[in-house]
Amino acid sequence: MIRSAPVLGTRRASTDDLPVDQRLEFWEQYNASTLVGLRCSSFSEAGFSAQEDNLSLERLRVAHIVGTQHVIERDGPMIRTVPKESVFVSLVMGSASFFFQNSTCHLLEPGDLMVYRTDEPYLFGFSGSMHKFIFDIPQEVFAAHCLRRFDSALKISTHTGTQRLLLRTLSERTGGFFEQPLSQDADSFQDDALELLGNIIAGQVGNRRINALSASYLLAAKHCILEQLADPALSCERVAAQTGISTRHLARLFAMEDTQPHRFILEKRLQRAYQLLSRGEDRGLDIAEIAYRHGFSSQAHFARAFKAYFGRTPSDVRAAAGLMQ
């Protein structure tokens, strides 16, 4: 049955305590309320069995699902009855599976990634035990972080060392967050997940050319930055030293993504500050304190950078958040 966990609104559903003949209906109802409307079929002689953990975060939702062999279908009538305009990214870790959408069938092996829209019909089948993570990303967030235009389902395999590294990092980071989903780590996890997915997808469609060694250094550099954003003394020199490379090499790595280390630091600080202001969680803090907490030593610099990046002042964002409460 459904049990609520105390951290970050984590939910868990399991069919284990239900009679076998009631499990599929329960599974469909739970997913319609938590993830996506679907129909589920199973031909397992032992009966269908599954468990799902769900985390609802600010910019995306994440599900961790294990189950026996089954097929799920989201058809036209279901899309009209239970509409949803998201992009799903499924990281398959169990048995081989297949995915069918828009007259194309993709065969997936453990470790593969399947990216697809939820506002178009699809089939997803698992020939054996199923184990996967699903990243449920609103289409506007997906367009901003991963792929601006996305029309056709995309299969991503671990054919290169870079993709293997990125997919393994994504799996380990997500698994670790599910084990201990602390609220103070939510922004960092979302940053990491969207950065990784953006790099993985860009590598598949050919937008970026980077080898596994460079990718590992870039991941390490970004991790250093995200862990130390609140420190006003954070510098490119410190990041390079902690990553074990020169500042010139660090600059070359970020140039592969058409940015610079100091620009990446500034943008992440501004994005974190915006998230805090737009959630209305800063009512006891003045703008100067918010600036300081996000690594800015000057309120004036923070205000100028914020307005230049978002086109709105910090006070405007806070006021809009207050009106929505």
pLDDT of residue 31: 96
**Position 6 pLDDT exceeds 80:** no
Mean pLDDT (the chain) is: 89
Do both 131 and 236 map to the same domain?
no
Question: For tokens 């800015």, what's the residue?
Answer: 296
Using pLDDT thresholds of 50, 70 and 90, give the confidence band for residue 301.
very high
Asked whether residue 292 is assigned to any structural domain, the reply reads yes
pLDDT of residue 65: 97
Least confident of 93-107, 137-151, 194-208: 194-208
Asked whether residue 113 is assigned to any structural domain, the reply reads yes
pLDDT of residue 165: 85
Domain containing 223 equals: 212-324
Do both 136 and 26 map to the same domain?
yes
Name the token pair of 283.
Answer: 């009512």
Do both 139 and 242 map to the same domain?
no
Inter-residue long-range contacts of 250-255, CB under 8 Å, 24+ positions, other chains counted? 250/221, 253/214, 253/217, 253/218, 253/221, 254/218, 254/221
pTM score, whole prediction: 0.79
Asked whether residue 186 is assigned to any structural domain, the reply reads no
Chain center to CA of 7 = 18
**By C-alpha distance, which of 231, 227, 230 is closest to 243?**
227
Counting every residue written for the chain, the total comes to 325
pLDDT of residue 164: 85
Do both 306 and 219 map to the same domain?
yes
Question: For tokens 């620009």, what's the residue?
Answer: 263
Contacts of residue 112, defined as CB under 8 A and 6 or more positions apart, other chains included, come to 92, 155, 156, 157, 158
Asked whether residue 89 is assigned to any structural domain, the reply reads yes
Which CATH number goes with the domain that contains 70?
A: 2.60.120.10
